[in-house]
Amino acid sequence: MSPDLPLRGLADDLAGRSDDALTALLIARPDLASPPPRGTGVLAQRALSAASVALAGEGLDLLAVAVLEAFLDAADALGERKELLGPVGRDEIVQRIGKRALRADVDARIETLVTRGLLWGTGPAKRGKYAHWIGGAHLPAALPWRAHNLLGPISGLDPTEIRERIESVDDRPRELLTTLAQGSALGRSRDAAPDADPAAPVPTLLSLGLLARIDEQTVELPPQVGQVLRGEPPLVTRTLREPALTDQDGPGRFDASAVDAAGAGEVLELLRHAGDLIDALGSAPAAMLRSGGLGIRELRRLAKTTALSVTRVGMLVEVLAKQRLLDAGPPDSAQHDYLAEDVFAPTTAVDAWAHQGTDRRWLGMARAWLELPRRPWQIGDTDRDGNTLAALSAELFDATAAASRRMILAPLADAAPAHPVTAESLTAVLGWRHPRQLRRMNLNTVSQTLREATELGLVAHGSLTTAGRLLLAAAPDDDAPSDVLTAMTGSLPELIDYFLVQADLTVVVPGPLEPDTADRLRLLADLESGGAASMYRVTDDSVRRALDTGRSSAEISAFLQEHSRTPVPQSMSYLIDDVARRHGTLRAGVASSFIRCDDTATLTEVLRSDAAADLALRALAPTVAVSAAPLRDVIDRLQAAGFAPAGEDSSGALIDLRSRGVRVPARGAASSPAPRRSAIGPGQAQAVVSRMRTADRAAGPIAATAAASGASAVEGETVSTLIQLALRTGRRLRIGYVDAQGAASRHVLHARSLAAGQLVADEEGGDEELRFPLHRITRVELL
């Protein structure tokens, strides 16, 4: 110990740091730069505050926390804590950590703490490096826990030994441990005092190291014990080295191209399911809850309609709503009556999105998921009050969700490509890198995030895909990063324009179809099984659907013959011709509506049906009847009665009877959630440092020569003379100034002109063309 060393303050240390060092400090702790501090003294005051120190602790890994605990433990040994802690030497820190970490790693963490302004050097420096360090009184706020758990009695045990100690205690102490593991790690008890009955549960656990004493009435559950009790991947503190994420030296289990192909396959399914969900909501919009969300009952209805799971539908709803492809609002379709004014339905932006390339739709879905302020996998869970969490609800909002999502995926970028990473090993690494997030980054959170990333094609076979790796490294403000789009295009299989028509009236598609071909095939046939290779089935209803769009049987047959790699079987041709022969013999048009049919027997059958009474049909001629009902209602009612009418316009041409579905007005793109503390770039940090240097110079001591020359006198001639001298020589000025409100300030300026009783100057590192009336200048000094 070296208590005789000077207790140098952080303000003195920051004033002596280089501009690059101050820039690094602001980048590491961006909360210090907002608003820009006026001088290094103000910067030091902010850096020493408890709130700022706690924020700085979020970026510390487990070894850095251990170094911090060792420093605080050594500082406690010096006696009563004061405003400054220390000084503590390097050997004292290394001694407390022992052989659990390499000395080079310990030195690197000390340097990290110094860079972030949590520690600073004192005493003599050798080659610019100090051997002793000082900390502020609020330094413990940087720890993720209250006790020194990385130096405690169980810090040298492995998880198996900790589990054995837990099993060795009685039921009552074990219940106490379980309660602390499921809730807050802090507990209050009168038995926490050193003189308590040693047979009581709390003293028993304290003696075994399964609890740590904070004070005479407070104990804390060590994180190592909590992880074991919760069944989480254990926090290993016997060695303070980072756990292995994967076997970096061994061969990958998968080829990189296989990983990319698997991710692309997941994306194709995701986009198809997104289209199905959009169609389902277009046909039957979902009611909005009073709280503004999409209820679990509606999600189950949509899941049944689309043949998807509720979890899948919930994620799709969140991602599509983030892109403003789904939204709540009044429907713009008058085809349906809704009980609620506002419904969840596709927006008008959906139609343009559907015609975008697959790579751009993939990028939009992935970007939206990364920026979501909610966790879709929590939909359907219950909150503390027992209420079910709905999709798109305010109760599900979490400003940290997007940052946590990137935090979970970040270690995968450090792993070798195509090397699988398990959720357990990833959870262990996250616990080491972010010990403050130990309870948040649990196994369930990590597993669910990996599952969602896999469904979005960012992760496949436990490894980041090429597109996922590039997307995580892309600039957040780049809407269409070219390298990401190139990787996505390269991962996706090439589009084909052919299929195989089978004799059993099925159509096999051995790959992703071109958009136009796919649209025409979906119109003619119903999807039976999706995937990389999909199968469609042609039925009477599907052929009638194609005929309803105005296509003839000849056009449908020509489409099949053009794109089928196998001969179109006779059974398919017979089906198309048979449906076409019956389709369109009955024509409905707008009169408000009319029905015409060349076959008088068919029209007679219509007039005798129940549909005639419902539609109030009236015969005008043997082949013509009229109705007051709208055309859409006439078509639907006749189809329900078993007829196959075709719609026509006033010229007699067939019209497309397909419903485009309900749409709500599209609003602007959703904004990304503001992070809890905004990061700043090197350029911004350098600008703040420049302002601080200027403020330091303005607040510096008055030069003796300036005072002797009368520079401090409020004499117009003297002030003017010094300003004129600065204009001629280009020297800087430091002035004292009192504004109209009587507030005094000091400035370092580059004089530009002197006229009309005003000094026009640029403030160093600040604003330009500032005007200072001469009668308010109290002091002028040449620098």
In this predicted model, what pLDDT tens digit does every residue of 518-568 receive, in sequence order? 888 888 898 888 776 889 999 988 888 888 877 888 888 899 999 999 999
More confident residue, 86 or 531: 86
Same fold flag, 159-229 and 700-782: no
pLDDT value of residue 32: 93
More confident residue, 750 or 711: 750
Measured between alpha carbons, how far is 545 from 523 in angstroms, rounded to an integer?
7
pLDDT at 673 over 70: no
* Across 52-66, 181-195, 320-334, 424-438, least confident range: 320-334
pLDDT value of residue 660: 61
Tokens 């400054």: give the residue. Answer: 84
What type of residue sits at position 392?
Answer: L
Copy the structure tokens of residue 594.
């009319």
Per-residue pLDDT tens digits for 437-481: 999 999 999 999 999 999 999 999 999 999 999 999 998 778 888
Can you spell out the DSSP letters for 568-590? PPHHHHHHHHHHHHHTTSEEEET
pLDDT at 711 over 80: no
Measured between alpha carbons, how far is 517 from 524 in angstroms, rounded to an integer?
11
Average pLDDT, whole number, for the chain?
85
More confident residue, 706 or 252: 252
Confidence of residue 663 (pLDDT cuts 50, 70, 90): confident
Closest CA to 452 of 322, 315, 326: 315
What mean pLDDT is predicted for residues 700-714? 43
CA distances for 267 relative to 254, 270, 346, 637, 765, angstroms: 19, 5, 20, 40, 50
pLDDT value of residue 674: 43
Can you spell out the DSSP letters for 642-703? T---EEB-TTS-B---------B---PPPPPPPPSS----HHHHHHHHHHHHHHHHHTSPPP
Per-residue pLDDT tens digits for 751-773: 888 888 888 888 876 778 888 88
Task: Mention every residue, 6+ apart, whose C-beta is less than 8 A from residue 257.
Answer: none
**What CATH number matches the domain at 10-142, 1.10.10, 3.40.50, 2.60.60, 1.10.357?**
1.10.10
Helix (H) or strand (E) holding 20: helix 19-28
Using the CB atoms, write b or e for 309-325: b if 16+ within 10 Å.
ebbbbbbbbbbbbbbbb
Q: 329 forms bridges with which residues in the sheet? A: 343
Measured between alpha carbons, how far is 372 from 81 in angstroms, rounded to an integer?
44
Tokens 């070798």: give the residue. Answer: 416
CA angle in degrees (0–180, nearest 5) for 276-277-282: 100
pLDDT at 30 over 90: yes
pLDDT value of residue 70: 96
Can you spell out the DSSP letters for 466-504? HHHHHHHHS-TT-SS-HHHHHHHHHHSPPPB--BEE-TT
Copy the structure tokens of residue 270.
């995701």
Q: What is the CATH number of domain 700-782?
A: 2.30.30.100
Determine contact, residues 128/13, Cβ cutoff 8 Å. no
Q: The sheet that has 758-763: what strands, in order across it?
A: 770-773, 758-763, 744-755, 733-738, 777-782
What is the β-pairing status of strands 646-647 and 586-589? parallel
Determine contact, residues 683/16, Cβ cutoff 8 Å. no
* Across 92-106, 218-232, 300-314, 566-580, least confident range: 566-580
Closest CA to 352 of 101, 666, 765: 666
More confident residue, 548 or 379: 379
Measured between alpha carbons, how far is 694 from 216 in angstroms, rounded to an integer?
50
Q: What is the CA radius of gyration of the chain?
A: 37
Confidence of residue 335 (pLDDT cuts 50, 70, 90): very low
Determine contact, residues 663/285, Cβ cutoff 8 Å. no
CA distances for 12 relative to 75, 120, 319, 690, angstroms: 21, 10, 50, 17
Confidence of residue 213 (pLDDT cuts 50, 70, 90): very high
What type of residue sits at position 132?
Answer: H
Per-residue pLDDT tens digits for 242-292: 998 876 554 456 788 889 999 999 999 999 999 999 989 988 899 988 888
pLDDT value of residue 707: 39
pLDDT value of residue 675: 43
Would you give the distance in Å from CA 643 to the centre of its chain?
53
pLDDT value of residue 716: 45
Q: Architecture of domain 159-229 in CATH?
A: Orthogonal Bundle (1.10)
Per-residue pLDDT tens digits for 404-440: 999 999 999 988 888 899 999 999 999 999 999 999 9
- Measure the N-to-C terminal CA separation of the chain; round to a whole number of Å: 44
The angle, 0 to 180 degrees and rounded to 10, between the axes of the packed helices 171-182 and 201-208 is 80
If DSSP codes are grouped into helix, strand and coil, which group holds residue 84?
strand
pLDDT at 636 over 50: yes
If DSSP codes are grouped into helix, strand and coil, which group holds residue 713?
coil
Q: How many CB atoms lie within 10 A of CB 590?
A: 14
pLDDT value of residue 367: 95
pLDDT at 669 over 70: no
Confidence of residue 736 (pLDDT cuts 50, 70, 90): confident
Can you spell out the DSSP letters for 202-230? HHHHHHHTSSEEEETTEEE--HHHHHHHT
What is the β-pairing status of strands 624-626 and 534-537? unpaired
Per-residue pLDDT tens digits for 309-321: 999 999 999 999 9
pLDDT value of residue 427: 95
Q: What percent of the chain has pLDDT over 70?
A: 90
Copy the structure tokens of residue 685.
């940090």
- The residue ranges of every structural domain in the chain are 10-142, 159-229, 256-332+340-491, 500-575, 586-643, 700-782
